[in-house]
Amino acid sequence: MSPFLRPFLQLFGLLAVLLVTSGLPSSALAQDDAPSFAKPVVSADVDPAGVDPVQAEPAAGEPTSAPDAAPAPDAAPAPAGAAAADGSTPRPDSDPAASEPAQPPAAPVADVAAGSGAPAAHGASADAEEGEQDSAMVAWGKKSAPIAILLIVVAFVIMRLPKVEGVNHSKAFKVRRVMNWLPLGLTYAFLYMGRYNLKVSKHAFEEIAGSDGSALMGNADFATIFGVGTVVYGFAFLINGPLTDRIGGKKAILIGAGGALLANLAMGLGAVSLLHHGLFYDQLAANFVVIYSVLYAVNMYFQSFGAVSIVKVNAPWFHVRERGVFGAIFGILISLGVYFAFDWSKFILDGFATELDSHAGLPWVFFIPTIILAAFWVADFFMVKDTPGDAGLLDFHTGDATAGDDSPRLPVLDVFKLMLRNPIIMTIALVEFCSGFLRQSIMQWFRTYAKQTDEILHLTDSFVYDNWGLLLCCAGILGGVVAGVLSDHFFQSRRGPVACLLYAFMAASGIVLIFTYDTAAVGWMVVAMSMAVIGVHGMLSGTASMDFGGAKNVGVAVGIIDGFVYLGTAVMSFTYAAILPGEELNAAGELVGDAAEPSNWVAWPISMVPLALVGTFLAYRLWNAKPKGSKGKAPAGH
């Protein structure tokens, strides 16, 4: 068997085991998916001992008996016309003799064991509360286990890959490299959580009435806020890309994480004020879209340091022939960030809810990322180094476009001109513009579509809806690993062939989606498309930008490429703000209007197809592209 094929067979074999052993039925998850830290709610019709008072009341004309006493075999039937134990009344012409005598309810097991109702009721209540907490933890464990198993599988496969010819790092170098990219990468993943938590917050904000009585954050409102943020994110690279090249990736990630955590803190405080009529409530309620557009734009400005810094730091640590695997790592980090953003945020939103306030978790959707980013800011400060030399190791020839170039750094404007005149860089940027549109049209809108059309399609009870972040994570990890491994080991570290194949898959899937978007298959279709688009994004933004920009100018290269990604996202946001149906709230606060009808959402899948076709064509033009500096000598053992 080919040594290149063996890891893939191991991957898919272990994934098959994963799916069989960790399959989570949607019916089971539907019960435990939204655990609450509030005490269990006891129905007004049920007493604490678990006995329904209506059923415990003996029917008219029936002799009373102790709850734990069985009726006598020859007990007389109830008189004709008397109410039965379940509250029903026999027909007048029915034969009383043919009716079974009403049975009193069975005693609760706890009462029989304890011999007393009150102590048993107290014990049952405590047991129920403890059981609910255990159930929440079990549900959380079930949902997290597949991610952990999949990461173990991916690590196992990557370790078993054939060695890259001519690249021989020492064990000490490899260990220190992991210590460098792991905290940096997890910071990037949690930046995602502090970026896409806005979408999860929409599910609460849209159920809160604004000053005019309409939903505080409707579809068009979310699209506007998200669109403004992505425009700022895209253009911020014009500043932050060259700045990162100058100051280094470590300082850039510290600036980015610090600014993003403060912006999330501000959005969380705004949510507290809106929920509790606190400070500046009137201004927030009357100008919600404007204020949150500004706060989210500030957040996205600092978020833009994330991708630039992670690529800038890792460029000197990975040879060009290893960067396909790094593209896989980059895709895994993106996927984990998506998981944190959607599933952890939803868990927070549901878990902090109480009987009296179902939206109590809303501020924590912003506060939790704030706390986590603060912790990783400290870790990055002490652990991350910009180059192997800074960590006390030897720097080496990476084989990229600027490897071995010791000439003075060009002025920023000259670097921009150099990149903009590079046909490969600009083709990659245009492909990633399409990726930005497609990736976010799936990630940001599937759950909204499912929730608003639930009365007809019933998608909110599906496995995909319940585990959206988890499935996006799994799909992204698979897409990143497959793309990276194929690139390095089948296409001689060329990125174009893999991007072209994945885009062709997206185009075909998009066409199928037009005819299946209003069926139960829609969830799995968009998960498959996410696998492809995250694989492309990790391969081009995370890897090709290093190859063709070179370690010296990678900040500008990533700035241009990732800037186009989020300009594509901005076009998606403003397009969907105009073409997707709007929702309304009825007197009961329920979502109604055009958005509840699936046929009004057909523009959602149709708009994806042209972008997927254009992306396929552009990626095909990159089929044979390789960086000019890749013929430099590879590193010896160090």
Spatial separation of the C-alpha atoms in residues 24 and 429, rounded to whole Å: 39
Q: Specify whether the backbone of 78 is left (phi greater than 0), alpha (psi in -120 to 50) or beta.
A: beta
pLDDT at 131: 62
- Please provide residue 142's backbone torsions phi and psi, each rounded to the nearest 5 degrees: -65, -40
- Please provide residue 293's backbone torsions phi and psi, each rounded to the nearest 5 degrees: -65, -40
Among 50-64, 391-405, 523-537, name the most confident range. 523-537
DSSP codes joined into one string, 240-258: HHHHHHHH-HHHHHHHHHH
Paired tokens of 17: 């085991």
- Judge whether residue 306 has pLDDT over 60: yes
Specify the 3-state DSSP secondary structure of 290: helix
Q: How confident is the model at residue 137 (pLDDT cuts 50, 70, 90)?
A: low
Which domains, ranges and CATH numbers included, belong to the chain?
168-403+420-631 (1.20.1250.20)
30 CB burial (10 A radius; 0-12, 13-18, 19+)? middle
Contact 429, 536 (CB under 8 A): no
Give which of 10, 362, 419 is closest to 199, Cα–Cα. Answer: 362
- Judge whether residue 94 has pLDDT over 70: no
What mean pLDDT do residues 172-188 have?
A: 91
Q: How confident is the model at residue 343 (pLDDT cuts 50, 70, 90)?
A: confident
Q: How confident is the model at residue 18 (pLDDT cuts 50, 70, 90)?
A: very low
Which range is least confidently modeled, 88-102, 147-161, 323-337, 443-457? 88-102
- Judge whether residue 213 has pLDDT over 90: no
Q: What is the pLDDT of residues 450-462, one digit of tens each?
A: 988 998 999 998 9
- Judge whether residue 22 has pLDDT over 80: no
Give which of 417, 447, 433 is closest to 566, Cα–Cα. Answer: 433
Contacts with 578 (C-beta within 8 Å, 6 or more apart), sequence order:
none
DSSP codes joined into one string, 543-593: IIHHHHHHHHHHHHHHHHHHHHHHHHHHHHHHHHHHHSPP-EE-TTS-EES
Give which of 534, 519, 524, 529 is closest to 465, Cα–Cα. Answer: 524
pLDDT at 62: 47
Q: What is the pLDDT of residues 517-568, one digit of tens each?
A: 999 999 999 999 998 998 888 778 766 666 666 666 667 777 788 889 888 9
pLDDT at 474: 83
Contact 308, 555 (CB under 8 A): yes
Specify the 3-state DSSP secondary structure of 592: strand
Spatial separation of the C-alpha atoms in residues 136 and 124, rounded to whole Å: 18
Contact 44, 141 (CB under 8 A): no
Q: What percent of the chain has pLDDT over 90?
A: 34
Spatial separation of the C-alpha atoms in residues 578 and 570, rounded to whole Å: 13
Report pTM. Answer: 0.67
Paired tokens of 248: 């280094």
353 CB burial (10 A radius; 0-12, 13-18, 19+)? buried
Q: ∠560-563-567 over CA atoms, to 5°?
A: 135
User: 170 or 163, which is more confident?
Assistant: 170
Spatial separation of the C-alpha atoms in residues 328 and 444, rounded to whole Å: 23
What mean pLDDT do residues 81-96 have?
A: 44
Spatial separation of the C-alpha atoms in residues 579 and 582, rounded to whole Å: 9
375 CB burial (10 A radius; 0-12, 13-18, 19+)? middle
pLDDT at 371: 97
Q: How confident is the model at residue 390 (pLDDT cuts 50, 70, 90)?
A: very high
pLDDT at 292: 96
* Paired strand residues for 532: none
What mean pLDDT do residues 19-47 have?
A: 41
Sign of the CA dihedral 420, 488, 614, 226?
Answer: negative
pLDDT at 369: 96
pLDDT at 164: 67
Contact 59, 83 (CB under 8 A): yes
What mean pLDDT do residues 329-350 have?
A: 84
Quick count: other Cβ atoms within 10 Å of Cβ 619? 28
Contacts with 236 (C-beta within 8 Å, 6 or more apart), sequence order:
300, 301, 304, 563
User: 151 or 171, which is more confident?
Assistant: 171
- Judge whether residue 116 has pLDDT over 80: no
Quick count: other Cβ atoms within 10 Å of Cβ 460? 16
What mean pLDDT do residues 603-631 have?
A: 87
pLDDT at 636: 46
- Judge whether residue 252 has pLDDT over 80: yes
pLDDT at 400: 60
